[in-house]
Structure 1
């Protein structure tokens, strides 16, 4: 009898049902050996036997030694050994070649200390009471240099004409020694005049027969082509005068022989690990102002552009020579920004009251790299009363300087014809009348920089591709 439930027919079991497979004979995995056993299991449970995996543990020493002397493996080992060290040596050689072939970076230009800042010429015999305490002391010299932003002091004629090892008798020994000590303690550099030539008959070197070769025949002029003389001066400057704190020596007028001698002496001093310098190229600015014209003044400045010049300048005297305080200030401004070092002298107390801040601003601006070592190019302006030039140094802000010496006319200056000058720049200095402004004073088009009468302007810019 059959029953039907949920659409399925059910009937009694019969012998024709599908045969069941023996589970003990069916493998469940290809990995570890697994065996099910159901021979008389208790409670109908099955017993499972799992064989442990066989883990490969590498070759034994004996098995490895079979291949140690095998020609194939010997050749392979040598090939890999040579390949490794050959590649390493190749990389080393390539690195050396790259270093050798790569263009060298030019050493960074820098100025000697005797060139860097403007120089204060100070007369110890006519000291200035800077601190107004009623007494002139060596500290006044130090304070004045600091107030003006200068790090070098020029004390003229320190070397005695009679004995080059002694201080000049024109000075009170106590006063000049105190001044030298004060400068040394304050970290100021001191320069003085080079040894005089010709010398007086009573000069100790001239009277010494062993030094007769130091002089030109039948003359009291020193022979600066004589190596013995140069060696003697090297010893003198690197010992006696170094101990006094004097490391700079300025020769007024130098012919070719003396110019060469200054370089030889400087090298000799520095070979003794002494940072001393003998320089030449002094120019008298005030003499140039006696018959002033902008064209002549520009030629005067350009004439020393290839070499380094030292511009001796008395700004107070210039006011009288130019009959104008404004013109004198414009000259001062230009001297601080051209290639060369100004030497300011004749700075009286009354002058300093009104001009100290002005000179300090110029000293600070002079520290810019483009002003110190940048190329200087003068501009051919359309006005005979205007002088303009640019200082350009790739990689550092350049500056364009324009000065209008005319008392009434305004004008515009186009700097774009100078290589490296971009379209625009920022005004950072402006001198107009007695007023000096510094800082970020506005942006301007460098193709038309405006200039008012008796005005000077300095524009900083990022150099264009040169």
Structure 2
């Protein structure tokens, strides 16, 4: 019986496919048990495939899997999460919990943002500022000059206007009354009108003002001076001094008062005030205020090392058993009981504060060279401005000069000393050049003429703010120093104090100049006579520079960084 096929409409096929169970077993027949019509209806690549419905995806019971058959199990497709739609979201939009949560997050975010902003501002405000260093004061710029005691107004007008400060000494008793007609007061006024600054020089140690009253037994001024009873009385009935203290004139520092029948201390010839008495300290503070009120811009103290003495009044000890001095001479003793006592610092600080409070950071300094700087410190800070250095260049000896410069800067730790240089073997302008370009201020003669070219170099940042390194060159016949600060040309100063010309290779003798090929001539002293190097601003070979005898040469250079 012939079999016929009825075409199946495409719509019916789609409906049948849709109604087919989702889990099916595809069985690929290995034998030819069909009539071929199904192969014509299916695509070429899936011919001989029979779909057998089975809910559990397995062969029906009793049906065997033939060799070559393949089974494909199509599982339940996974559902993809596509989020909530608008309607679902709107259910939570006005929910009180979510409203509160949104406000909490909103407020929390801006609170944290504001806190971070405030914190950043506070960190910037509280961070240590990198301020530029303050400019040097007029007394640090210098130079300074000391007027003779008998200076007249006419002589004052002849002083070089480049001198920044004039020291005016008061030779009279500092505790006596002065008025507007006093010569020193007139000089103070004239200096101020001239546009210069005045430093008043005073001696606080000795005074006769209260001495007569202090001689009275048990009087109110008895403790204004230093009194001691005689040690013993000699065979002739003469009183002996309380101890062996003697002054620089090789005389006893003690003077006997017939009225009081005691010795008073007078190392400078005047009765010495007792600065362990706070009333006496205040008396000198009043003196300072008087002169500062009359126009002084600073104060210099004379006899500062002598102001205090040992309260136990013990004898001075000898320095050594040297036969150079005997018991009656000042040089025999170490003067630890009468000079540079350790408690001078607080005393000087009291007066320094008066000066600083009444001036625009005016100087408070001492006339003498302070050999024991620790005695003039409070909390490790030196209370004396411009400590004097008067003997650094006394000898024509490179080692001597080098030792004194290193003592000043490295051992004593003085940042800005006052240089007072005198040496008959070196010209005045040589000493002025050397000291003006060192850290510190130079003390010049009142009739000195200041070289404008030297002052211009002195204003360079490397001189005003730069570091200083000292070098002995050419077998210790030349001493040189470098002044340099970051971002500025360096300055090289070479002094030859000897009698022969020195030819120097700076690149091999000073490590900091090892990479410098050229130097520029800036200045030289009147004793310099090397024609090849006497043209200012001329470039010269750093490996071969001549320095004349007893002269100084100033050169500049561009610092090179070491690799």
Q: Which residue of 1 aligns with 2:352?
A: 266
CA deviation after TM superposition for structure 1 residue 187, in Å: 2.5
Q: 1:391·1:400 contact (CA, 8 Å) conserved in 2?
A: yes
Given the alignment of the two structures, is residue 431 of structure 1 paired with residue 431 of structure 2, yes or no? no
> How far apart, in 1, do the equivalents of 2:442 and 2:435 lie?
6
> How far apart, in 1, do the equivalents of 2:458 and 2:190 lie?
25
Distance verdict in 2 for CA 1:337–1:92, change over 3 Å: same
Which structure 1 segments of 5+ residues have no match? 1-63, 128-136
Given the alignment of the two structures, is residue 83 of structure 1 paired with residue 109 of structure 2, yes or no? yes
Given the alignment of the two structures, is residue 145 of structure 1 paired with residue 160 of structure 2, yes or no? yes
Q: Which residue of 2 aligns with 1:234?
A: 285
CA deviation after TM superposition for structure 1 residue 151, in Å: 1.3
CA deviation after TM superposition for structure 1 residue 364, in Å: 3.5
Distance verdict in 2 for CA 1:223–1:419, change over 3 Å: farther
> How far apart, in 2, do the equivalents of 1:260 and 1:366 lie?
34
> How far apart, in 1, do the equivalents of 2:197 and 2:529 lie?
31
Given the alignment of the two structures, is residue 296 of structure 1 paired with residue 296 of structure 2, yes or no? no
CA deviation after TM superposition for structure 1 residue 216, in Å: 4.3
Aligned Cα RMSD in Å? Answer: 4.0
Which structure 2 segments of 5+ residues have no match? 1-89, 229-264, 266-270, 306-339, 370-387
Q: 2:168·2:198 contact (CA, 8 Å) conserved in 1?
A: yes
Given the alignment of the two structures, is residue 442 of structure 1 paired with residue 538 of structure 2, yes or no? yes
> How far apart, in 2, do the equivalents of 1:175 and 1:434 lie?
43
Q: Which residue of 1 aligns with 2:147?
A: 122
> How far apart, in 2, do the equivalents of 1:196 and 1:421 lie?
53
CA deviation after TM superposition for structure 1 residue 89, in Å: 0.9
CA deviation after TM superposition for structure 1 residue 263, in Å: 3.4
| Structure number with higher helix proportion | 1
> How far apart, in 2, do the equivalents of 1:189 and 1:143 lie?
15
Q: Which residue of 2 aligns with 1:249?
A: 299
Q: Which residue of 2 aligns with 1:113?
A: 138
Q: Which residue of 1 aligns with 2:365?
A: 279
> How far apart, in 2, do the equivalents of 1:98 and 1:183 lie?
46
**TM-score (norm: length of structure 1):** 0.65
Match of 1:332 among 432, 440, 447: 432
Distance verdict in 2 for CA 1:259–1:357, change over 3 Å: same
CA deviation after TM superposition for structure 1 residue 407, in Å: 3.2
Give per-residue Cα distances to partners, 1:343-396, cap 9 Å, x unaligned. 22263xxxx6xxx353x4333332333323433221022333312112233354
> How far apart, in 2, do the equivalents of 1:95 and 1:162 lie?
55
> How far apart, in 1, do the equivalents of 2:404 and 2:523 lie?
24
Distance verdict in 2 for CA 1:272–1:291, change over 3 Å: closer
Match of 1:203 among 173, 189, 209: 209
> How far apart, in 2, do the equivalents of 1:221 and 1:243 lie?
26
**TM-score (norm: length of structure 2):** 0.55
> How far apart, in 2, do the equivalents of 1:438 and 1:310 lie?
30
Distance verdict in 2 for CA 1:104–1:434, change over 3 Å: same
Q: 1:426·1:459 contact (CA, 8 Å) conserved in 2?
A: yes
CA deviation after TM superposition for structure 1 residue 126, in Å: 5.0
Distance verdict in 2 for CA 1:126–1:274, change over 3 Å: closer
The 3-state SS of whatever aligns with 2:111 is helix
Give per-residue Cα distances to partners, 1:106-149, cap 9 Å, x unaligned. 6615544333201122226255xxxxxxxxx44x4244231xx1
Higher mean C-alpha displacement, 379-388 vs 277-286: 277-286
Distance verdict in 2 for CA 1:151–1:291, change over 3 Å: closer
The 3-state SS of whatever aligns with 1:76 is helix
Give per-residue Cα distances to partners, 1:178-208, cap 9 Å, x unaligned. 32221111221111323242x15x2347846
Q: Which residue of 2 aligns with 1:161?
A: 173
> For this pair of structures, how many residues does the alignment match?
365
- When Rg is computed on C-alpha atoms for both structures, the one with the higher figure is 2
Q: Which residue of 1 aligns with 2:189?
A: 181
> How far apart, in 2, do the equivalents of 1:179 and 1:385 lie?
45
Distance verdict in 2 for CA 1:179–1:73, change over 3 Å: same
Q: 1:389·1:402 contact (CA, 8 Å) conserved in 2?
A: yes
Q: 2:482·2:493 contact (CA, 8 Å) conserved in 1?
A: yes
> How far apart, in 1, do the equivalents of 2:547 and 2:209 lie?
56
Distance verdict in 2 for CA 1:77–1:274, change over 3 Å: same
Q: 1:269·1:276 contact (CA, 8 Å) conserved in 2?
A: yes
Q: Which residue of 2 aligns with 1:379?
A: 471
> How far apart, in 2, do the equivalents of 1:88 and 1:420 lie?
54
Match of 1:459 among 555, 558, 563: 555
CA deviation after TM superposition for structure 1 residue 154, in Å: 1.3
> How far apart, in 2, do the equivalents of 1:206 and 1:417 lie?
65
Q: 1:428·1:438 contact (CA, 8 Å) conserved in 2?
A: no
Higher mean C-alpha displacement, 302-311 vs 213-222: 213-222
